[in-house]
Amino acid sequence: MTRSTHLPPAARRVAEQEARAAAIRRWEQRRAGGRSHFIWRSGVVGWGLPAALLTGFYKVFQEQGLAWPHDLSPHLRVALGLIGVAFPVLGYILGAWLWDQGEANHARLIRERDGG
């Protein structure tokens, strides 16, 4: 939430209440699918898989350049395997953390809205 200093205090309060209500609605829409869906969509598919693909492509490019990889070295195979497992797992952990942060922020916004 950004504060606009050029608004009178009453208008600023109204703008903050509207921003708070919009943030509550956004989170309630995201959480409607449930925790597991959020974690998989935001963490694993949204971060883990893209990061694994980009890192994997970089590792192949680093070792073989622009030539199509005909024969991957054992070192590269191990690296790609680790990348393929580690990044989605880290994405799952990130998604779970984002869910917890979103829930905590949502609870805080509800308390502020209700005056508590």
Cβ neighbours for 4, distance < 8 A, ≥ 6 positions apart: 12, 15
The predicted pLDDT at position 6 comes to 80
pLDDT in tens, 43-76: 999 999 999 999 999 998 888 888 776 788 899 9
The predicted pLDDT at position 107 comes to 93
Measured distance CA(17)–CA(39) in Å, rounded:
29
Mean pLDDT of the region 28-52 = 96
